[in-house]
Amino acid sequence: MSALLNKQYTLGQLYNMADQCSHEYPETLARKIEILSEVQIIIGRKAADAVRDYKHKYAERKRVYAEAYVSASKDKAQRAELAVVDLRIEEADLEAEKVRWTNAVTSNEQVINALKYSLRVLLNEYDNLANDRR
């Protein structure tokens, strides 16, 4: 990890730094890949946190449903469903957040791979230019 990335940056700051890197020079393109790799670590953690939060809410909903079902004397399923309506809404929001962060990880990974390919092409071009000058 570079010395620059030893400091804590927000995702916005890292994206701004990456956007300032030129695609015309191998050094700056490699720097952009390095910054986006740091972004990948951060959004990967956020995706994992979102999955955990969703699973916790899911477990809570299942528990509340079971408790309501067991304690109801009649219309057990209906009473249990009514007991978890708000939890289902919260769970849906957390699932959406989980999907959002998972998609961000995938998207960022695809950008990094495309930039790696561009870097290889750029390095080959520089290598060919150097060979032509000999």
Low-confidence ranges of the chain (pLDDT < 70): 1-6, 134
How many separate domains does the chain show? 1
Amino acid identity, position 54: Y
Question: What would the pLDDT profile of 89-103 be if each residue is shown by its tens digit?
Answer: 999 999 999 999 999
Instruction: Give the single-character DSSP code of 58.
Output: H
Are residues 17 and 35 in contact, defined by beta-carbon separation less than 8 angstroms? yes
Asked whether residue 30 is assigned to any structural domain, the reply reads yes
Q: What's the pTM value of the predicted model, to 2 decimals?
A: 0.82
Instruction: Give the single-character DSSP code of 88.
Output: H
Asked whether residue 99 is assigned to any structural domain, the reply reads yes
Are residues 29 and 36 in contact, defined by beta-carbon separation less than 8 angstroms? no
For 88, residues 6+ apart whose C-beta sits below 8 A from its C-beta are 61
Question: What domain range includes position 34?
Answer: 9-128
